[in-house]
Structure formats: C-alpha cells, structure tokens
Amino acid sequence: MLSSRRRPLSGKRLLAFAAVSLCANLAAAAAHDWSAAESTPSQETVLHQAFDYAFPLVAMGRLRAGMLGTDAKPGRLQLGQWSHQHKLSGPEDRWVTTPNSDTAYSTLWLDLRQGPVALTVPDMAGRYYSLALLDMATNNFEILGRRANGTRGGTFVVVGPDSTQPLPPNVQVIRAPANDVLVLARILVNGEADMPAVTALQDQFKVEPIGAGKTPPRWQAAPPVEQSPQAFVDMANLMLARNPAPRYEDALMQRLASVGICGAACRWEALSPEVKALWAKQLPGMLSSLKGGLSAAGPKTDGWSYSKANLGDFGTDYAYRAQVALGGLLALKTVEAMYPITFVDQQQARLSGAHRYRLHLPAGSLPVNAFWSLSMYEVEPDGKLFFTPNPIARYAIGDRTAGLKVGADGAIDLLIQRDAPADPAQRANWLPAPAGDFALVLRAYEPKAELRDGRARVPAVERLD
C-alpha cells in the first residue's frame, strides 16, 4: 500500500552520540594503526582497529533506534514511511552538529527483508535535490537526484542483496549491499517563502513495498543504546548481525573477533576480563581521537580544511569513516557536495566575534553546478557547532541570498562580524557573527572538477581590524 507521512523530524530523538565537533584535533589518532606492515598487531592495536571499524555501525544503530524506537516502545517513525522536515534549520535545531539552512530534509528507513521497495519522486522542475541511499557503514551506495539523473519524476526500486523477487518492468533497480537502508532526501529551499512549494513536493514522495512480504519487527532484540563499552560492543555486533560484513572483510572480522567485534558470533559476555578492562580503559580516548570529522585528514589551504576524496564512499579507509561518523554523519560524496571549514583567519588566528572579517570571492572562484553558501556556527564549549540567534535571523549567506551585492567584475565581498556594517549598502552581504569563537563552513553543491581536484580553493578569511 502506498504511504507518505508528513511528520517533522524530531531533533531530540536523533543521534547525540554522533553530534560532536568538526574541530581539527587528531592528537590521539596515531593509536589507530591500520598499517599492513604490522603482521602481528598488539591486542591494543586490534582494539583500536575494532573501534574504528565499528563506530559508524554503532552511530547508525543509535540513530535508527532513536528514530524508530522498538516494538515495545515505538518511536515517532515507522519503517517504510517518510518523515519530512517542513522548515529550514535555525538556532533551535540541535539534533546534529553543523546543521544547514539551505535544504529541507526527508528521511526514510527501509528493512529490505520484507522484499523490494519502490520509491517514487515527483518532477522537481529543475530544482536541486538529492536522494542519498546509505548503508549502515555510512557509505552512500547510491545518490539519485539532479546531478545523477535530472529532475524529472520517476520510480526507483531498491532491492536487498539476496532478493529474487520479480520486479516491475522499466524501472531503475538499485541493489543495496545489505537489508538495512537509510534514505536521506535533500531539497533546495530558496528562503522561507519557498517552503510551501518544497512541502508540496515532499508530500508527493511515495514508498511502496513490492510483493506480500511480512513487515519485520523494528529490532529482533532491544538495541543497546547506553553509553558504555558493553553497549558499544553489543550494538556493533547487533548491526553486523543484521548487515553482515562483505566477504573481502572476512580476514578482518577474524582479527577483530579477538576483541569482541564480528557480528552474531561475538558478544560482550564472552570476552575475557582483560579485554573488557581494555575496552573500558581505551574507549574515552578513542572517542576523543575521532575529532576532526569532515576535515580530519584532507588537504588544508589558506586556513580552510577540505574533505578527503573518498568522503561518503570510504572503501577500507576505516579511520576516516569513523571520524566522519562522529563529526559529519550522513555526509554526501564529494561529487555531490563539498564542505570546506575554517576556524582561523589569514594569520591563523582564531575567528572571533570580537573582530571584523571579509571573505573576498573573485568571480568564478566557487565553481559549482548547483549552489554555494557560507554558514556561521558558534563554537560550543564542548566543540559542537550550532547556529546562534542574530538580529536578522541570517545563519548562512550565498549565491541565492536576496539582494546580495556583486561587484562589476563579478566578485563578492562577504562581511563577517557581530554588529551590522556601518554602511547600509554593505548589509546585504553581512553574515552576523556570535560574540565568541566561531567557525565557517562553505557548502558547495554539485562542485565542478576544479573545486574537487584542488585547482580552485576558497580564499583566506581576511581580518579587517
């Protein structure tokens, strides 16, 4: 039966565990040794590898549990039903660090054990949108949308790895690597006045099971969501049992099993007291070592940190996959979007609302096929990044900002400061800053090749006082 449910996303129920920071601090990352040269790694090294490997699975498991709940205590969402965000994010939205105010989100959880599912999207009439299909290791195994297949409406059938179900003719088939899938849709919103049009598009999203498969329970067992070493290991194994590792990771699973991570055959209770104690001792430091998120290991130029090329489709880069799961969960692949971030000005001094800044963008310096925006985030004491209230309720500025002033040569000067510019003519290009430390994130959707490969880079932020 067709279903499309209109429900706002509930931030308080989402993943606090993964919403930490994008701060570039990898002091403890050396403990994550994935070197092939170490033929007999120590137990501590294997435990760090197991943590890296398992963290995204745990993050996605907790996100799933927070949104769906359990059969005994259901959440606000159901399997196979869309949940739509009918507003742009603001300072009150703190469900995950670094929210954006460019797109509205729609979320859909699938369990393909019940059979294939048909997804139908409406004609977007040229509007930017994307539908990212993610596995529980946080890889975007498919991205539909304007870049990939245009904006005309269509139906796509998502199939589990072992399904032999007959399928309708003349539809695009997407085979998922495992049965648990998260579909995350992003639709461009051109300001609050455009939100009703976007809502009308969201309401046309459909999802339809194919065949007569029985709807599975949310979980076969209650998901362990407590903040403890045991809950971490148990959630990782629960997610691996639901979504087995690919065959090329068989040898890795044999190694990680020695510290309790391998899926259905592993469990916390079977670990030795020594291994349990090692998890308890190492877990806080391992969590700290993941800080850096989207920009942890990529290139850095003029104070801006860039994502690695394998963002969103990580392969065997398990350390980076874990870093992104902490600081940038659900990030798109770089072919779809890039997220340069900076905390400093051109002199490498910390960005602060105590000063005034300018970002000079020469004509053509941000080559994109969709759009770009610069978002302002206050840095919380724990390193999290969120929007903060300001007098004009502007949390990002970009190429779609109403009244944006562009020079005769095509250049744009963005003014970044706490108080409004003295010259009224400059206020159209003003991005308000908080009183304390802040960070800037430049979002580039459908970046062109010269931005992806480094030939084009964001200029340094210039301090004016």
Quote the pLDDT of residue 13. 36
Question: What is the rounded distance in angstroms from the CA atom of residue 276 to the CA atom of residue 272?
Answer: 6
Quote the pLDDT of residue 293. 62
CB 372 within 8 A of CB 412: no
Quote the pLDDT of residue 31. 40
Rounded to 10°, the helix 43-68/318-327 angle is 40
Q: What is the per-residue pLDDT across 314-340, written as a single tens digit (0 to 9) for each?
A: 999 999 999 989 878 899 999 999 999
Residue 173, exposed/middle/buried by CB under 10 A (0-12, 13-18, 19+)? Answer: exposed
Quote the pLDDT of residue 218. 92
Q: Computed from CA positions of residues 52, 57, 58, 59, in that sequence, does the dihedral angle turn out positive or negative?
A: positive
User: Residue for token digits 């925006």?
Assistant: 373
Residues with Cβ within 8 Å of 74's Cβ and at least 6 positions away in sequence, in order, are: 68, 218
Question: What is the rounded distance in angstroms from the CA atom of residue 321 to the CA atom of residue 59?
Answer: 11
CA angle 374-375-380, nearest 5°? 150
Quote the pLDDT of residue 18. 34
Quote the pLDDT of residue 71. 87
Quote the pLDDT of residue 193. 93
CB 429 within 8 A of CB 413: yes
Q: What is the per-residue pLDDT across 326-382, written as a single tens digit (0 to 9) for each?
A: 878 899 999 999 999 999 999 999 999 999 999 999 999 999 999 999 999 998 876
Rounded to 10°, the helix 43-68/273-289 angle is 70
Give DSSP secondary structure letters for 77-118: --TT--EE--S---TT--SSSS--SSEEEEEEEEEGGG--EE
- The residues of the chain that CATH labels 2.60.120.600 are 340-463
- The residues of the chain that CATH labels 2.60.40.1610 are 1-23+31-282
Distances (CA, A) of 158 to 117, 145, 163, 208, 239: 5, 15, 10, 10, 20
Amino acid at 142: E
CATH classification number, 1-23+31-282, choose in 2.60.40.1610, 1.10.645.10, 2.40.240.10, 2.40.128.260: 2.60.40.1610
Task: Report residue 294 CA to chain centroid gap.
Answer: 9
Phi, psi of 96 (to 5 degrees): -155, 150
Q: Which of 193, 201, 13, 7 is nearest to 88 (CA)?
A: 193
User: Residue for token digits 């120590």?
Assistant: 42
Mark out the alpha helices in 175-331 (DSSP H runs).
Answer: 195-202, 229-242, 250-256, 273-289, 318-327
> Which helix (H) or strand (E) is 120 found in, with range?
strand 117-121
The dotted CATH code for 340-463 is: 2.60.120.600
Quote the pLDDT of residue 385. 86
Helix then strand then coil, % of the chain, to nearest 5: 25, 25, 50
Quote the pLDDT of residue 33. 59
Quote the pLDDT of residue 459. 98
Which pair of structure tokens corresponds to residue 459?
Answer: 């200029």
Averaged pLDDT, groups of 10, the chain, 465 residues long: 36 35 33 58 96 97 94 90 93 81 95 94 98 98 97 96 89 95 97 95 96 81 91 97 96 97 96 98 92 72 94 96 89 95 96 98 96 94 85 96 95 97 93 96 97 96 97
Strands (E), 337-429: 337-338, 341-342, 357-361, 368-379, 385-386, 396-398, 412-417
Query: 3-class DSSP state for residue 155?
Result: strand
Question: What is the rounded distance in angstroms from the CA atom of residue 35 to the CA atom of residue 288?
Answer: 21
Question: What is the rounded distance in angstroms from the CA atom of residue 45 to the CA atom of residue 334?
Answer: 30
